[in-house]
Structure formats: structure tokens, C-alpha cells
Amino acid sequence: MYVAVKGGEKAIDNAHRWLGEMRRGDRRVPQLETAQISEQMTLAVSRVMAEGSLYDAELAALAIKQARGDLIEAIFLIRAYRTTLPRFGYTSPIETARMRCRRRVSATFKDVPGGQILGPTFDYTHRLLDFKLLAESEDEQAEEAIPQDSADVPHVLGLLDRDGLIQKEHRTDEEPVDITREPLEMPASRAARLQVLARGDEGFILGLGYSTQRGYARNHAFVGELRIGLVDVEMEIPELGFAISLGVIEVTECETVNQFIGSKTEPPQFTRGYGLVLGQQERKSIAVALVDRALRWKELGEDFLGAAAQDEEFVLYHADNIQATGFVEHIKLPHYVDFQSELELVRMIRKDAEAAREKADD
């Protein structure tokens, strides 16, 4: 005899307990401390802060611990928390020209004012497993290289800008949209696009950026400058009449120099792509700059080549991994009702078809 399934509540409670046990793993191994994650898994923390769009390393570490290392799940935890936070106001734009750079490289000029800083990069490591890390060994301490005071470190692209060699970015004091407070509208402003890209899924943006290099809306990019470092976050307090510093955040900024445009009447000029991401997110910031540039085809008078990276709706509606993972995974939820209706429809159409065939056979 069939009995309708009951007990969903109990199943959920048990599943949650089991999940907790799996997260903890073997109890003979010491429990991970969130400080260990925030200090020693900094790039994972950066990614969770960037795509969670909340700059808080401690909470990002907690989310990573709770999510058993599943970074998309950790990003989701941060997003769900972030959305409940009250807004006190909006800060002034950060000044990346006053960044205390931990790393700064230009692929377009051998030397630049302010100098190139290689910084803590994997770039020239040999990708050989370091078995010493299996044991508890301490690495040598490096010399402190990051400048303590903010000083003007002019952007490399500013040099091209001064000579009119690169397309001007028009400075505006227009209030940018906040994509977490307003529904995304198409066509989207560049500010909205850059926000979506900044918190978009690293893998998705990386794939799209890569596709532009392989010929899908190729735009010949050079990294004009990539810088990683600390910037001050300030807020104007109208009652005080001046800005106060709220703290310091780490960001990664990439500016690309791209294929030039021009015509018989207009002298040729290079174009730009831009990527700014929270934390140390080098790969992501470069990919964002490539996709940003590809999305600017209309503004720069280029043709739409049908490439995915040029397609604003395609890119912006599919970049968010929390939206994507939800909808992709939701098809595992019960769909008995809609499936049943299709089943009945297919049965009905088949019956009609068989009847028609039998009739034809007669």
C-alpha cells in the first residue's frame, strides 16, 4: 500500500547534522581556525570577498570554513549576510593613483615612473610541489616592501593619455548605479557592467576573456598596468564638512591598452579596458579588463561580431555564480507536477500518432 511521503522536517534536521559532521572531518585532526584561513588562504579569502562583494576577511574565512572550502557556497553565505546590512551612506571613490602598491607591472613600457614592483607573485615560481610544506616549516621572512604612506603613483596609461595616444575616459560626477540596490536594466551603463564583472564568477569571466584572445571579438590587448595594493576608503560627512578615513582595503586594478581606432579624419588612438576587483585577484582583474573592452564595441564604433564577450545581455545575465548555481542546481528539486504534465502530453501525442499509423496500415 502506498503511503504519502511524510517526515520532510526530520530528514532536513538529520541532513544538517550529517553535514556538520562531514565539515568537521576526523576529530583527531585539530579544527581549522578562521585566522588560519584568513592568514594562509588569502587568495581564497580575496575571491570570496570580491565575488561576495563584502570586504571582511574574517567573515570570508568563516564562510570558507562553514562551506567546507566550496568557494561558491562561501560567496553565497557572504552575499546573504551582506544583503541584511544597513546602508549608512556611500564613500568617495577610492583613489587608485594613491595606492600603496604591493605589486605593479606594466607590459607596455620597460620602465615607468614609480618603478615596476614584482611583488608576491606566482609568475616565476616553478610549479613543483614543495614537499617541505608537508612538514611544518617556516618560510624565510621577506623584507617589508610595501610603502607605508600613500604617495602618488601615476597610472601608466596617463602617460599615453597626456599625448592623446589613447582614448579619453570622460570623467563624470554622475552617481553610478548600485547593482545590488537597483534591478539590472539593459542596455547597462559601463558602471553597472564593471560592477557585474567585478563580482562575477572568476571562471566565467576568465573563459570569456580568453575567448576574446582567441578571435571571438579579438581586440589585441596589452596589460598597460596591473597594480595590487592598499587604498584608503573615505567618506564625506556633510555635518563635518570634510572626509574621514573609514579604513584601508586591498584592491587589484588592471588597465589594458587595446587595438587602436581611427579613420581618415580622426588620428588613430589606442582604446582601453578596465578591471577593478577587491583583494588580490590578478587573473580576475585582467579578464575583467578584456571583457570590459569587448563590451565597449558600440561606444567605440566597432561591429558586433556575434561574439559572446561582446554580448552585454549574455555576459551580464550569466556572470553571477550565485544566480547561476541556484538555477542550475534547482532542477534537482521536485518537479513531479510539471514532469507529469509533460508525460501526459507525450502519451497523448503518441496515442494519436499510433492511431494514425494503425489507420494508415488498415
Partner 1 sequence: MTDPSDTSLGDTPPEGTHDQDYNFAYLDEQTKRMIRRALLKGLAIPGYQVPFASREMPMPYGWGTGGVQVTSACLVPDDCIKVIDQGADDTTNAVSIRKFFERTAGVRTTEKTGEASLIQTRHRIPETPLEEGQILVYQVPIPEPLRFLEPRETETRKMHALEEYGLMHVKLYEDISSHGHISTAYAYPVSVEERYVMDPSPIPKFDNPKMHQCPAVQLFGAGREQRIYALPPYTDVVSLDFEDHPFTRLRNDGVCGLCGADDTYLDEVIMDDEGTRMFVCSDTDYCATRIEEAAE
Contacts made by residues 22-30, CB under 8 angstroms, sequence distance 24+: 22/68, 23/65, 23/66, 23/68
| Secondary structure class of 222 (helix, strand, coil) | strand
For the bound state, the minimum distance from the C-beta of residue 1 to partner 1, rounded and expressed in Å, comes to: 9
Among 17, 162, 335, 357, binds partner 1 (CB under 8 A): 335
Q: In whole angstroms, what is the distance from residue 75 CA to residue 120 CA?
A: 25
For the bound state, the minimum distance from the C-beta of residue 83 to partner 1, rounded and expressed in Å, comes to: 4
For the bound state, the minimum distance from the C-beta of residue 77 to partner 1, rounded and expressed in Å, comes to: 9
Among 334, 359, 360, 361, binds partner 1 (CB under 8 A): 334
Total of chain residues touching partner 1, rule CB under 8 A: 55
Stretch that binds partner 1, among 93-101, 159-167, 183-191, 248-256 (CB under 8 A): 183-191
Indicate the residue among 40 and 189 with the shorter CB distance to partner 1.
189
**Contacts of 121 by beta carbon, 8 Å cutoff, 6+ apart:** 103, 282
- Chain positions 308 to 327 lying near partner 1, rule: CB under 8 A, are 313, 317, 322-323, 325-327
Cell of 68: 567546507
- Chain positions 275 to 314 lying near partner 1, rule: CB under 8 A, are 313
Asked if 260 is part of the footprint of partner 1 (rule: CB under 8 A), the reply reads no
Among 33, 169, 352, 354, binds partner 1 (CB under 8 A): 352
Single-letter residue type at 250: E
- Our measurement of the distance from residue 202's CA atom to the centroid of its chain's CA atoms, rounded to an integer in Å, reads 5
The contact mask relative to partner 1 for 185-204 (x = CB under 8 A, - = no) is xxx-----------------
Among 337, 358, 359, 360, binds partner 1 (CB under 8 A): 337
Q: In whole angstroms, what is the distance from residue 274 CA to residue 256 CA?
A: 6
The β-bridge partners of 274 are: 255
User: Residue 53 — left, alpha, or beta (φ > 0 → left; ψ -120 to 50 → alpha)?
Assistant: left
Range list of H helices, the chain: 8-24, 34-40, 42-52, 57-66, 71-82, 156-162, 190-198, 202-213, 282-295, 312-318, 321-329, 336-361
Q: In whole angstroms, what is the distance from residue 26 CA to residue 32 CA?
A: 12
For the bound state, the minimum distance from the C-beta of residue 88 to partner 1, rounded and expressed in Å, comes to: 6
Single-letter residue type at 58: E
The contact mask relative to partner 1 for 78-117 (x = CB under 8 A, - = no) is -xx-xxx-xxxxx---------------------------
For the bound state, the minimum distance from the C-beta of residue 280 to partner 1, rounded and expressed in Å, comes to: 24
* Interface ranges with partner 1 (CB under 8 A): 2, 4-9, 11-12, 76, 79-80, 82-84, 86-90, 180-187, 313, 317, 322-323, 325-331, 333-338, 340-345, 348-349, 352-353
